[in-house]
Structure 1
Amino acid sequence: MLSQSLDGIDPKKFTTLEEIKEAYDQLCKEEKIVDERLEWNIGNRHRLEARLSQLAHLVPTLQIVQADARKLENTISFTCQLANNVSAKVRELDIAKGRVSEVQKRVGDLLDLEGCAGGVATALSQEDYEKAAGHIYRFLSMDETVLRHSADSANKGENFETWFERLKNAESKLREIINQNFDEAVRREDEASIERFFKLFPLLNKHEEGLAKFTNYLCSKIRAKSEKNLSLAKQIGPRDKRAHIIWADTITLLFEEIARVIEIRQPIIETYYWRLCIVVELLQEECDRIANGIISNMQTQRKLNNILSTVQEALRMSNMAMSSNSSKDQIKPSTPDPRDLDTLSRRADYESSIEDKHLRKQKIEMFETKLSRSQVVCDMAVVIGNYTILEQFYLNESFRKAVALDSGEGQNQTSSLVDDAFYIIKKSVRRAIASSSVDGVCAMLNHSVDLLERQLAAGFHQTLRKGFPVQGYLDLTQTALNNAEISCRHVNSLQNSLRETIDSAMKDLSPTDSAKLESCLSDLKATSGRFRSVVDFGLSQLQATAIKPKVKPWVDTFTTISHDITEEELSAYEANDPFSQQLMVQIDGLLGSFIPLLTTENHKSLVEILVKEVASQLEKAVFKSTFNRFGGLQFDREVRAIAGYLSQVSEWSVREQLARLTQMATLLNLENLSEVSEYSTCTTWRLTPTEMKKTLQLRMDFKYEDIQRLKL
């Protein structure tokens, strides 16, 4: 280290005294480090010598290990060289074997070529087309260039040309025969002959041609069956029990027929062609054409275009009426009933059977992409769009009818509107779920949310704004309050029910579709908050109009009763309390009057509001009174009695709501001011220091100066 530092310092480069001092200081530091290192080495001399002695003893052992390692190296080198020699000979043998195999193959091809040339003619003459196709398949699998070279080497060039020409002519003749016989079998609808000649196309390397012919035959069968079903659908009268779903049945029969055809023909196609996707794509094109025709006939027969125009105009007028607050205007009676709409949007087993049974995994995604872009999917999307418009109209009209027919149900606390409204929504959304269209379900969920918020919740809110005390509105307002509270629970029940239906009916959804449905269901659940806000508004109205005006005069009687009493008066009050007993009777009568009018949840909320109101009013009354020691004890009894009664009628502890009153009673019940500090160590005060002093000032026997000196 010192030598390195000295080498790094060049005295000739120093030009100032500061640089010389800096170099000197650095050298001093390095000298000190070297001295410390030398002292450590000298102090550990014996240990270092012992370690060196141990190393010296290991030298012979290391020499033996070195010798063994060299022997192992020589052995490995010899083995490696031997392996390289053996592998070289093996490669030579493998090359020789490959060449022998190639020669054998060429000889075999020449012999097979000769046999095929003679055998194909015999098979054709005997009309044994399978055997003839087998000879042609063997011939086509041979490499012509290699065969020509082999024939020239074997001096068989002339025979080779003869065989080749004979086999090519036989191939052309056999192809013509197969085409003719296949077409004839199709004309005669001879299933056995059709399958027989369909199997021969791959042997002639005519896969595409065979699949095209066979698929055209399948399409013709599907087309004939669909035309028959379409003709039957047109003959169905309006009074037939399946008239409202006949078009759904017709298009479902088409899908099921295609699925059946694929399932039956799949083994032969996979066995001889390995190209089922091509057949499915061609069948899908035929499905598009037939389905489009069915939908067009349905629209014509049902006059859907005219109905849609009428419904769209009705919806437009309804929206204008809502925006101008004239929702009482009725839609023209000529508007259609959307319940007559066919459930055309459901998917048959066609798509699921293809995906599950007939496609290789690596082609599923590609096929699903093509299927999603097919014409039938586009047509179904249009049908779903039209269905959504009609379903929205049905929902609007059913809601309007439910509102018009709304009535109290005997002694029930709610009206028929809530059950009717949620039943209608549940029915409509479930119909949309049956379509398996995510967009259709989302549209109906969004429209349902809009109706719940704009018509149901807003209607309840409008009714509650009229107030409770107005004569003639009491029944209406309490019913609206109960309806709003019941609707909160119905929303959660509806959301859970629809989620279960979606999970069972719409499986294997993509993450995007699942997220869309979850978002719409969350919006539906959020309407519970809207109804809860209506309930809170109704309860606040009830508090302002029916609770506070009664509770305030009841509690104000507290100020008319003196709490500057003697011990004898305190004993008399214990047997006949002039305030708390009367207050509890009045509260009990008030709560009892609302039991038959309000739901259980609303009644519980009313009790909670009443507790808070009593506590607030009593707290104000206390500050208007004065107390002595016995009066404070009496007030403590009153608070305890009221708290016990309210806890009993509310079925929960009211300690939190009455905490401030209880603490005020504690302060007014003190014997002297010194007890305040004792209570402060074990009590979390809800009263502020100012309020505590103000409460203590109500005690006539406590001095103002002593209260002000308290450290709270």
Structure 2
Amino acid sequence: MSECSKRLEQPLRYKLLTAHWCSISSVSGSDESPRCQQYNTKTHCNYHPRSCRPRGPDTMSRTEHSITNGRAVSSAQNGERPNAHLPIDVFNASSVAEIKAALSHLHDQEVAVTARLDALVASQKDFSRELGRLDLLRAHLGSQTSTTHAISHGMLSDAAATADRISSAVRQLDLEQSRVKATLEVVEQVSELKACVLGVAGSMGAPQDWETAASYLNRASKVPPEVVHGTFAAEMVPTAEVPDPPNVTLDNAAESLCGLFLREFDKAVKENDGAKITRFFKLFPLIGRSEVGLDVYGRYVCQGVASRARANLNAGTGGAQSKDGFFYANALTKLFEHIAQLIDGHGGLVERHYGPRKMTRVIERLQLEADLQGGIILDTWSDERHIDRKLTDIKSYAFTFLVQSFLPAQRSATPRSNSPATRDGLPAEDEGVDMKEIDGLLNEMAVMLSRWSLYCRFIAETCNVRYLTASTSLCMDVFGKLTLCKATEDESQKFTPPKFLQEASLSKKITDRLINPFNTMTTFFFRRSVEKAFQLDEQPSGLTLHPQKPLKADPPHITSAVDDIMYIVNKVLQQSLATSQISVVTNVVPTLGRVLGSDFIGMTQRKMRDECYPKAPVQGAQPPEQTVISFLVLINNLDVAVDYIRRIVQNHTETKKTITGPDGQVEETDPLRSLFPVPAEAQLAAQTLQTLASSFESKVNDLLSDGIQVVFNNVVKHRLRPILADAFRDVEYQPRDDSDPTSTVYHEYGDGDEDVDDGASRAELVRPRFAASWTALLLPISRILTASSFDRLLNVTVAYLARLLEKRLWSYHGRINALGATRLERDVSGVVNAAVDVGGAQGASGRYRHREAFARCLQMVLVMGMDDDEWEDVTRGGETADVLDKISREERARIRAMVRR
């Protein structure tokens, strides 16, 4: 390093800087000290003061210079091109300017290095102080470590050994204590067992105290079996009086008592001694024979069920009571009520002495008896009522009237459907199937199915409620029926019948003997009722199309078949829903929809096509009045039928509010949920009913629209053009002044001009003409049609009238002046008001809706009557243009050009 200093003549501060940097590197142990050593040993020296700072080989190669023959040699002299950005070397300077530049650069470097060196020297004191502090901390830590090792080996090791010995002693003591407790427990159990064995033997001896003996056996049953069968008990329990092992003694005593209790129970049953029956029934679980007690009790209650069922059935056998329409339904109801009373009355006793859910075993035994007795009742009913023969007759019924009604009509001699000749000449085709008898059978079957549903619901609730969580409380109502006070169980699971009830033979017999015949008979009954209703159909009397003549019948004007059929629909729906059988509802309700669609709608359609079609005898003339009236009545039939079906379905599906309690509290009841407690079944029943209403309404609406179109085409349409032409007859819209008698002058009364001639100036020609003809055309029809049907007809009529009026407005091109445009606007408004006001109150509700059909006409006359400022606003697309949304921009220009200005 001294050699480099002599050659470069560095100042002393450069040496200090280099020494200080190398010392830092050596203290910190970094990899910079070798470079400093290399700096001291090698013959190459960096001219830059920062040469001793760590840098890469590339940097070193760029900044280092070679020393050759005692002078610095640049890399360019060694064959390398010098970098353009490096300062000029003082030794290679070729001019005074370069030397001054090099010196200036060296001076700047000296200032920078000096500042950094001063900072390093200033920070060296703090660095040295921190190093000294670290040395002190290291010395202190060493002393602490020595002290810790001394404490650990000198004090804690002995304490740890002592604690381990104490812990082992405690564990040994706990083990000995547990063994002592186990031994004492076994001794106590053996002592209890010995006392029970001796007590059983003593009670079964001379005292014959069966309750005490049973209680001793019950206490002995609580001793663990391993103790009873253990060797210690076998050594300690036997005595001279009872030498057998305890398990043998107890088993023999239980068998002996069980036989004794069975004999005494059967004896009490024969004597009909209820107290003794209950006494011995309660003893079976005490001796571990619960199954035997439940079986013998089930046999006992089944005997009572069988005897009462036979008594109820024999009460009407061969007598007049069996002819009663509800005798067998009452017999089946009494059977179910008796079983329900037994379950409800004895369930608490069984649960209290035999444990929870033990009553289910008795219920299963009762269900077997119910299968037997209920099957006997159903078989007897089926034979007595000749169900199979009636089903055969029903299936062979041909529905001759309905079939012949759909055949091509003989127009040469076709009598009216309600004529006496037709009614009196009907063949006695229904003598083979008595409708009154079928109705009675349906009522009886509906009662049976309803009672079966209630019975199944009670059994399901009784069995499933025992599986509720402990937080659910049970209440007993006044009828002794278990109900939930806190609903914590899913309703679907709560009312799902148990498996033994689903697989019961009575359930299958209910399906075969009741549900299937009920569905078949209901279908026949309804279709035959529809046929009978059309056979006895009567038209409303006193209807006429003359507006001056009053109508003798009250609205709605429909035939008698509609009321008859809808009454039967309501009756059949009530009957089917009352069964609470979802399979019945899903079968009967769609069948009603099919029959209504095929027979009711089909028959009406056939009459509208063949019997009452309003066809004029001569083209351009009106159809016969009676034919038009009959056709309008058939349209009313369809419209009223839809309303009836909708109301019937709503009556069965909507919730009803009832006032309950003395405080007048309002309670909502859902009729379907009361009949179908399972939510899924109630929802399915509601969907089935809604489907009936929607499908029937959809089918009727199609035919109703066709019927309205026929009335419009054959009765109304051909008269609209003459009515409109007559209204605008001899009317011109380019008058010279207001006194022109053909200009439809319109003045408001009260203008102050009282001297104006009333005959000319106040004469409004278009609206009175149109209103008179329009009313004469539609008022007779509106008096007969229902409000909704006439609204349909008016909707079609005003749409066509609007098109005719628009064509007439276009025909006035070039024949209107400014004053005539104003008058034309008033006349068109008068026509529109008269058109929508026909029919009185019937047209008022839809007045503004029907005005929409004339929107184009009203906007056309509005454009005609605009002044220049308003029209300019329209052309600019202002607010006035938004009012004219029914006509296009081109049409507005054409309309504006129609007026001569």
Matches within 5 A, 1:22-37: none
CA distance, structure 2, for counterparts of residue 320 and residue 94 of structure 1: 99
1:546–1:320 CA distance, 2 compared to 1 (3 A): closer
C-alpha deviation, 1:691, in angstroms: 4.1
Comparing 221-230 with 156-165, greater Cα deviation is found at 156-165
2:717 corresponds to 1:617: no
Matched residue, 2:833: 644
When the two structures are aligned, how many residues end up with a matched partner?
633
Correspondence for 1:416 among 551, 554, 560: 560
CA distance, structure 2, for counterparts of residue 637 and residue 191 of structure 1: 99
CA distance, structure 2, for counterparts of residue 423 and residue 85 of structure 1: 98
Matched residue, 2:737: 567
Matches within 5 A, 1:577-588: 577-588=764-775
Matched residue, 2:786: 599
2:693 corresponds to 1:537: no
CA distance, structure 2, for counterparts of residue 563 and residue 507 of structure 1: 72
Matches within 5 A, 1:670-685: 675=871, 678=874, 681=878, 682-683=880-881, 684-685=884-885
1:174–1:345 CA distance, 2 compared to 1 (3 A): same
Matched residue, 1:403: 534
CA distance, structure 1, for counterparts of residue 716 and residue 169 of structure 2: 109
2:613 corresponds to 1:467: yes
1:179–1:669 CA distance, 2 compared to 1 (3 A): closer
2:437 corresponds to 1:333: no
Contact 1:570–1:634 (CA<8 Å) still a contact in 2? Answer: no
Contact 1:151–1:160 (CA<8 Å) still a contact in 2? Answer: no
Contact 1:559–1:624 (CA<8 Å) still a contact in 2? Answer: no
Point out where structure 1 has 5 or more consecutive residues left out of the alignment: 1-5, 7-41, 43-48, 50-55, 75-79, 703-712
C-alpha deviation, 1:314, in angstroms: 1.7
C-alpha deviation, 1:215, in angstroms: 0.6
CA distance, structure 1, for counterparts of residue 239 and residue 793 of structure 2: 111
3-state SS of 1:618 partner: helix
1:504-552 per-residue CA deviation (whole Å, 9 max, x = no partner) reads 5423224266235414422323312322233222221121122211111
C-alpha deviation, 1:330, in angstroms: 7.8
1:391–1:85 CA distance, 2 compared to 1 (3 A): farther
Matched residue, 2:316: 233
Matched residue, 1:162: 244
2:809 corresponds to 1:633: no
Correspondence for 2:598 among 436, 443, 454: 454
1:589–1:272 CA distance, 2 compared to 1 (3 A): same
Contact 1:119–1:135 (CA<8 Å) still a contact in 2? Answer: yes
1:244–1:95 CA distance, 2 compared to 1 (3 A): farther
C-alpha deviation, 1:129, in angstroms: 0.9
3-state SS of 2:316 partner: helix
Comparing 83-92 with 595-604, greater Cα deviation is found at 83-92
TM-score by length of 2: 0.63
Matched residue, 2:572: 428
Point out where structure 2 has 5 or more consecutive residues left out of the alignment: 1-55, 57-115, 117-122, 124-129, 138-143, 153-159, 410-416, 418-425, 469-492, 542-552, 615-621, 655-669, 746-761
1:594–1:166 CA distance, 2 compared to 1 (3 A): closer
CA distance, structure 2, for counterparts of residue 290 and residue 482 of structure 1: 53
Contact 1:438–1:517 (CA<8 Å) still a contact in 2? Answer: no
C-alpha deviation, 1:666, in angstroms: 2.9
C-alpha deviation, 1:201, in angstroms: 1.8
Matched residue, 1:490: 644
CA distance, structure 1, for counterparts of residue 383 and residue 164 of structure 2: 85
1:333–1:361 CA distance, 2 compared to 1 (3 A): same
C-alpha deviation, 1:646, in angstroms: 3.4
2:395 corresponds to 1:312: yes
3-state SS of 1:429 partner: helix
C-alpha deviation, 1:294, in angstroms: 0.8
Greater gyration radius: 2
CA distance, structure 2, for counterparts of residue 180 and residue 521 of structure 1: 62
2:457 corresponds to 1:352: yes
3-state SS of 1:473 partner: helix
1:236–1:345 CA distance, 2 compared to 1 (3 A): farther
Correspondence for 1:284 among 367, 370, 373: 367
CA distance, structure 2, for counterparts of residue 319 and residue 502 of structure 1: 35
CA distance, structure 2, for counterparts of residue 104 and residue 611 of structure 1: 106
Matched residue, 1:369: 499
Contact 1:467–1:545 (CA<8 Å) still a contact in 2? Answer: no
Contact 2:529–2:568 (CA<8 Å) still a contact in 1? Answer: yes
Comparing 408-417 with 677-686, greater Cα deviation is found at 677-686
Contact 1:491–1:525 (CA<8 Å) still a contact in 2? Answer: no
1:339–1:153 CA distance, 2 compared to 1 (3 A): closer
Matched residue, 1:16: none
1:280–1:168 CA distance, 2 compared to 1 (3 A): closer
C-alpha deviation, 1:379, in angstroms: 1.6
Contact 2:724–2:805 (CA<8 Å) still a contact in 1? Answer: yes
Comparing 472-481 with 129-138, greater Cα deviation is found at 129-138
Matched residue, 1:122: 202
C-alpha deviation, 1:276, in angstroms: 1.3
Higher share in helix: 1
CA distance, structure 2, for counterparts of residue 350 and residue 549 of structure 1: 67
Matches within 5 A, 1:164-179: 164=246, 166-179=249-262
2:741 corresponds to 1:659: no
CA distance, structure 2, for counterparts of residue 538 and residue 428 of structure 1: 29
1:621–1:132 CA distance, 2 compared to 1 (3 A): same
Amino-acid identity (%): 19
Comparing 313-322 with 281-290, greater Cα deviation is found at 313-322
TM-score by length of 1: 0.79
In structure 1, give the amino acid aligned to 2:338: E
3-state SS of 1:546 partner: helix
